[in-house]
Amino acid sequence: MANWTQKKLLVTIGGSALGLCLMAGGGIYYTMGLVSDVETQVTQKEEAVAAAEAKIKRTAGLERDVIILRENLDDYVKVLPNTKDLTAFVRMLDQFDRQSGIQSTGLVQKARRDGKGERFTPIEYTYEMTATLWQCMKFMNLIENFERFVSITEFSIQAGGEKKGEDTREGDVVHKVKLTLQTYAYNGKSEGKDVVIADYDTQRDLLHEVIWKRRQAIRLDRYNHRGAQGRRDILIDPRERGDLRVDGPSQAEQRAVLERYIGEVTRLREMHLKIKKQDTTLFEQYSLEKGLKDGLEKMASTLDTDASRLSYALYRLRWAKEVVTPLDELRGQIDAVAKAQPVKTDPYLPQKEMQQLVAEMAADCSSGQLEQAKNRYDAVAGRMTVPSGDPRHELAVAAKSWHVKATTALDFKGLDLRVQGVVVNREGRSGVLLNGETYEEGEYVSDDLLVKMVEEEQVWFVFRGLTLVRTM
């Protein structure tokens, strides 16, 4: 080396330095690559951390959802039967048979899918029966209102009654019915693992209201079948059969009965409307109420008998709709009004009404409307026994007095008094020829009837202490 030339030395030094620098540069480049890789990993991991944090932030919401869903699912599945319930369902069918009156002829289970690992396995039965339309509808309605989910997926009704002498029940024709009933068996344990949520019970209690609200979503549609309500069986030809002798009234007679009742119902309804009007007086109300009550009683006494005379399906429906239903409504309205009336603590007629009663009775008696005056008092008689200490006592006495007068006058009017002639004596006692006998003024015709005065045109009597005039 000592003999190396300067040039050689310079080349060696330069070369070595360059080599070392290049190595260091390579190392730097490599390290930078490593740093870049590590930074990429850091970025990825940071993104993963951010994603994890975002996910973790949803924990509370997810827990809430899971609790609500789990609780509701437990409730929802109650509508689906398990194996035990299916046995109970068959027993229930028997009960429905008896409730509806149908006669079942067969229950066949359709081929059941294996359903291994399936949470919901459909189960189908075909149910055959004979039933009237109303029995069939009641049975279907009972099935559809059953607490467990059962769906009628298919059904067919073959109308009966075409041939003479075919089976009837309660007067209705029996049809052949075939129903396909479907339900689902629920297998809650098929797969999956339920996550354990800390403090589950407390959280569930806090979410009680939300759980309840969501639970309403599964409420199955229910319907209450209305029954026949006088409607005719739509599977029966309603036309008259010429080949059968029909007992009872003809269609025209049935129509007359129906229309008579419809007319009467209309009259009673109008009467009821009048009662409700504000402009009617107490006494008008009384007579309307009495008329309505009498009308209803009269109709009720003949309703069932006449109803049985209507055999034509179309008239039976009109009977139900236009007679029975309005009559029930009318009765209901009258009962409701009676119930709604507050209990009166004052047993006597208010003073104002009593004054009105006295004035109207006086007017009636003056105008000769004795019957009306009597009726006015009779309508409120129960509320006229006012004690002497009550300020209305005088009015009650006055009303009673008018009632006595009216009643006496009416009784007098009802007496068989035939005035056949009079003898008027200006100087002394005049006489009257009454029912073939002569009576002088001051003579008694009977214990409570006295001839008071005889004039040319009229005879004055005293009847039960009341002076009354009989004109010739």
Partner 1 sequence: MIRINLLPAELRRGNRLPTKVLAAALGAALATSASIGWFGLVWFGDLAAAEGKLLSVEARLGDREKKVAYVDLLEANQKDYATRVQTILDIGKSRRVWSKFLDELIDVVNNNGDAERHIAWIDSLSVKGDPKKGAAVTMQCSVQGEEQDRLANFHDDLEAAPFGKEVTRSDPVWKRDDDKARLPPVSLRFPLTLQFQPTVKEVPKAKPAPKAPAKK
164-203: contacts with partner 1 (CB under 8 A): 180, 184, 192-195, 197
Shortest Cβ distance from residue 61 to partner 1 (Å)? Answer: 9
Interface residue with partner 1, options 41, 95, 105, 401 (CB under 8 A): 41
Give the DSSP H or E segment for 272.
Answer: helix 251-276
Interface residue with partner 1, options 169, 204, 225, 393 (CB under 8 A): 225
Interface residue with partner 1, options 84, 91, 241, 418 (CB under 8 A): 241
Residue 420 near partner 1 by CB under 8 A:
no
Segment contacting partner 1 by CB under 8 A, of 55-63, 287-295, 327-335, 421-429: 55-63
Number of residues in the chain: 472
Q: How far, in Å, are 186, 221, 356, 388, 403 from residue 85 at the CA level?
A: 11, 20, 73, 76, 76
Residue 223 near partner 1 by CB under 8 A:
yes
Q: Which is nearer to partner 1, 39 or 147 (CB)?
A: 39
Residue 280 near partner 1 by CB under 8 A:
no
288 Cβ contact list (under 8 Å, min separation 6):
271, 274, 275, 280
Q: How far apart are CA 295 and CA 158, in angstroms?
A: 45
For the segment 85-124, give every residue that binds partner 1 (CB under 8 A).
Answer: 119-120
Interface residue with partner 1, options 86, 307, 317, 397 (CB under 8 A): 317
Interface residue with partner 1, options 93, 129, 140, 454 (CB under 8 A): 140
Q: How far apart are CA 251 and CA 240, in angstroms?
A: 9
Strand partners, 451: 461
Strand partners, 466: 463
Shortest Cβ distance from residue 398 to partner 1 (Å)? Answer: 55
Q: How far apart are CA 150 and CA 270, in angstroms?
A: 48
Q: Which is nearer to partner 1, 24 or 336 (CB)?
A: 24
Shortest Cβ distance from residue 4 to partner 1 (Å)? Answer: 9
Interface residue with partner 1, options 107, 218, 262, 380 (CB under 8 A): 218
Q: Which is nearer to partner 1, 6 or 366 (CB)?
A: 6
Shortest Cβ distance from residue 321 to partner 1 (Å)? Answer: 6
- Per-residue burial over 368-377, b if 16 or more Cβ lie within 10 Å, else e, is ebbebbbbbb
Cβ atoms of 408 and 402 within 8 Å: the answer is no
Interface residue with partner 1, options 1, 111, 217, 340 (CB under 8 A): 217
42's tokens:
């850091």
Q: How far apart are CA 387 and CA 378, in angstroms?
A: 18
Shortest Cβ distance from residue 90 to partner 1 (Å)? Answer: 20
Q: How far apart are CA 326 and CA 322, in angstroms?
A: 6
